[in-house]
Copies of this chain bind each other. A is one copy, B any other.
Amino acid sequence: MRKEVCSMKKGTLFVISGPSGCGKGTVLKEVLKNPDLYFSVSATTRDPRPGEVDGVNYRFMTNEAFEALIEQDGFLEYAGYCDHYYGSPKQPVEEQLAMGKSVILEIEVEGAMKVRAARPDAVFVFILPPSMTELENRLRGRGTEAEEVVQKRVAQAKREIGFAEKYDYVVINDDLSAAIADVNAILCAESHKTKKNLEEIKEVLGK
């Protein structure tokens, strides 16, 4: 029985970004139900918040361990933010790709641009909100943030969306199930790129 989402024999590194409030977490939660996908968990030196689980929300590391890994060129990208490091460890990503799994890296725009430079074979997807008004409503709707924080996040979102045109694909999340289908279509299509299937073409001719 064939899966609805096409099988991805060829591992591809997908980098997904989008501003806070665009809904990328909800989209990815569904997309990651595909067992052929591996979600790369970011590393950080900040302390776990209540409820956060090591290896699920983040890989929590000491400052010393993080800096040692930097020295070993062990990150696809990393950055310092509010006195803490955040980064994408290279090894688990490479391992999964080598096993033929596709890897999803959910990172912010500056990190994505670093990966773009280092990994020209990676595929970049930007999730957009339907409008800034809707984004603002979503951010406000969380009800947990002061108005000043909301405005700061809207400004931050605008800045991030300025990077969208540097991505390979954009998906506008105006309808959740459509956005999930769109991201799945991108993952599926990329696995059918000819350059990833040269062996398969030979196999067809040989059998």
Q: Which residues of A contact B (CB under 8 A)?
A: 2, 4, 6, 126, 128-133, 158, 161, 164-172, 175, 177-178, 181-182, 184-186, 188-190, 192-194, 197-198, 200-201, 203-207
Contact A194 B181 (CB under 8 A): no
A170 to chain B, nearest CB (A): 5
**A181 CB contacts on chain B under 8 angstroms:** 4, 6, 188
**A190 CB contacts on chain B under 8 angstroms:** 189
27 residue pairs A–B, Cβ–Cβ below 8 Å: A2-B178, A6-B182, A128-B204, A129-B204, A132-B206, A133-B207, A158-B205, A161-B201, A161-B204, A165-B194, A165-B198, A165-B201, A166-B194, A167-B194, A169-B189, A169-B192, A169-B194, A170-B200, A172-B200, A172-B204, A182-B192, A185-B185, A185-B186, A185-B188, A186-B189, A189-B189, A189-B190
A51 to B121, CA, bound (A): 49
**A189 CB contacts on chain B under 8 angstroms:** 169, 182, 185-186, 188-190
Contact B126 A204 (CB under 8 A): no
A155 to chain B, nearest CB (A): 12
A33 to chain B, nearest CB (A): 16
- By beta carbon, the residue of chain B nearest A171 is B192
A198 to B164, CA, bound (A): 9
A27 to chain B, nearest CB (A): 13
A150 to chain B, nearest CB (A): 17
Contact A130 B2 (CB under 8 A): no
Q: Contacts A161-B204, A204-B130, A205-B161: A168 and B194 contacting too (C-beta < 8 A)? A: yes
**A185 CB contacts on chain B under 8 angstroms:** 6, 184-186, 188-189, 192
**A203 CB contacts on chain B under 8 angstroms:** 131
- By beta carbon, the residue of chain B nearest A4 is B181
Other-chain contact of A170, B168, B170, B192 (Cβ < 8 Å): B192
Contact A193 B168 (CB under 8 A): yes
A118 to chain B, nearest CB (A): 20
